[in-house]
Structure formats: structure tokens, C-alpha cells
């Protein structure tokens, strides 16, 4: 009988890109076709389903599936080997262990970034399941917002401070709240956050973008400390909005950022 051993995440940013965008290893959430070869190690190489212009990410695992021994990227006919820094493998145990997820966590000193690939069917099909980017230091590029709350603490308006090449301006633009966007104030472990969840349909799959804001000094200005993209992880199954409690381990990286 197989028993599961853990799983998990990386990031992008929304309209004004303050936390930065993803890279070639994050082609967007969607199925990745993978093929297996077995010769003392396990090699999976995957490309985005139904496309030829998206990156193909390949993993080579140790024989016991305990680690990634090699990672490769093929894009538009060009291939290169990638460092396996920050990669961990989560897998089942038992007579026939299988990979449950491959997770890459990278800390560049400015942001903490985590990406997870998970198998769709057995261990031959993978998808980028979720990605989270968390700010580690305060800087003028972090998006800042003023929210209008009603008597029930529901957010009825969102204004974002304009940032120019010279820094923050005194101008605040109204960010229209669309029908597929939900804002929710949440308090977790004594800290109050605003979570914005934006849902999109990708074929038959619903993909969620989320943004997390905090106002530590209670000046009415909320700073974006994290954002991400996911198919379902970190999303409350009942309300379909980002569940900040599930992100607490990752959000710890933002402890020095004053919102």
C-alpha cells in the first residue's frame, strides 16, 4: 500500500508587474505531457499539451525518486541544462513509488519564489500546479493600494498608487473591480490581510490569480507582499477565493516588509 509524502509552489504579478513576472520555467498553468525512461534513474520530459512553442521541462530522478539529478529546458528547438538548486521531489512509498510533485524554491534575496509541478495521470503527465512569489524586502516598486471598506468590511473600491521611473507619484488610479474578481479581508495569526482572487477559465480548468496585501502600520495604505497563480492549491473549495491561512509558511518570508 502506498503512502503519500508531502507536496507544494512560484509567482507572477498583476496589472503593473511590481513583484516581477515568471520565467521560461513557468509557461502558465496547464497540462504537461511527460514520457518515462527507466535505466537506474527516472527521466521525465514534458511539453505543454497541444503546443510546440512552449517550454519543455525535463526531470531526471534518482533511482529511489528521492532527488532530481538533472533538469533541462527545451524551447523552440534550443536545449540547455539547468541547475537543480532548490528542487525537491515528493513521492509515494511502497513497492512502486511514484512522483507526486516536483517543487522548486528559490530565494534571490529580494523575493522568495516557489513552483510546483504535479502529475496528472500516474507519473507520465505533469502540470504546473501553482506558483507563488513573496516579497522579502521593502522597496518603492511594491504595489500599494487604498481600499474602501463598507460596514461589513467588504471592499467596495480599490485605488492603486501610480509608480513612475522616478518612484511613487501622488496619483492614485481607480482599479475597477471586475465580476471575476473577489476581495476579502482575512486575519490569520494576529495579522490582517486583504486577498484579491481573480478567476479565469482555461479550457475546462479554472485558473486563479491571487494578490496578498498587508497594512502593518495602519496608515490605510496596503502593500502587496505576495502574488501567485494556481489551479486549486491555496484556494478555499467552498468560496473559491485565496485562503491566506494556507499560505502562512510562504508568507513568513515577508516578515521584514512593512506594509
| Per-residue model confidence (pLDDT) at position 58 | 76
Question: Do 54 and 46 contact (CB within 8 A), yes or no?
Answer: no
With 0-12 / 13-18 / 19 or more C-beta atoms within 10 angstroms meaning exposed / middle / buried, residue 75 is: middle
With a CB cutoff of 8 Å and minimum separation 6, the contacts of 144 are 160, 161, 168, 221, 222, 223, 224
Question: What percentage of the chain reaches a pLDDT higher than 70?
Answer: 76
| Per-residue model confidence (pLDDT) at position 124 | 52
Question: Has this prediction a pTM greater than 0.85?
Answer: no
Mark the ranges of the chain whose per-residue pLDDT is less than 50: 1-17, 21-40, 46-52, 123
| Per-residue model confidence (pLDDT) at position 44 | 62
Q: What is the pLDDT of residues 60-69, one digit of tens each?
A: 889 889 899 9
Amino acid at each position: 500500500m502506498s503512502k503519500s509524502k508531502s507536496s507544494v509552489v512560484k509567482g507572477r504579478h498583476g496589472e503593473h508587474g511590481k513583484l516581477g513576472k515568471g520565467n521560461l520555467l513557468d509557461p502558465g498553468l496547464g497540462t504537461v505531457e511527460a514520457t518515462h525512461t527507466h535505466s537506474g534513474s527516472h527521466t521525465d520530459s514534458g511539453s505543454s499539451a497541444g503546443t510546440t512553442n512552449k517550454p519543455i521541462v525535463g526531470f531526471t530522478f534518482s533511482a529511489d525518486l528521492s532527488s532530481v539529478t538533472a533538469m533541462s529546458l527545451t524551447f523552440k528547438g534550443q536545449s540547455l541544462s539547468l541547475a537543480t538548486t532548490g528542487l525537491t521531489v515528493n513521492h509515494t512509498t511502497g513497492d512502486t513509488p511514484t512522483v507526486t510533485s516536483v517543487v522548486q524554491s528559490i530565494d534571490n534575496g529580494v523575493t522568495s519564489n516557489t513552483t510546483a509541478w504535479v502529475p496528472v495521470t500516474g507519473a507520465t503527465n505533469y502540470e504546473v500546479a501553482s506558483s507563488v512569489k513573496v516579497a522579502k524586502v521593502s522597496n518603492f516598486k511594491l504595489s500599494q493600494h487604498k481600499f474602501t471598506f463598507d460596514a461589513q468590511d467588504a471592499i467596495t473600491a480599490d485605488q492603486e498608487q501610480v509608480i513612475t521611473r522616478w518612484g511613487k507619484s501622488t496619483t492614485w488610479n481607480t482599479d475597477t473591480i471586475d465580476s471575476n474578481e473577489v476581495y476579502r479581508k482575512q486575519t490569520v495569526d494576529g495579522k490582517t490581510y486583504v486577498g484579491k482572487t481573480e478567476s479565469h477559465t482555461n479550457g475546462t480548468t479554472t485558473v486563479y490569480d491571487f494578490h496578498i496585501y498587508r497594512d502593518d502600520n495602519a496608515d490605510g495604505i496596503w502593500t502587496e507582499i505576495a502574488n501567485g497563480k494556481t489551479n486549486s492549491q491555496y484556494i478555499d473549495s467552498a468560496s473559491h477565493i485565496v485562503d491566506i491561512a494556507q499560505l502562512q509558511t510562504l508568507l513568513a518570508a515577508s516578515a521584514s516588509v512593512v506594509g
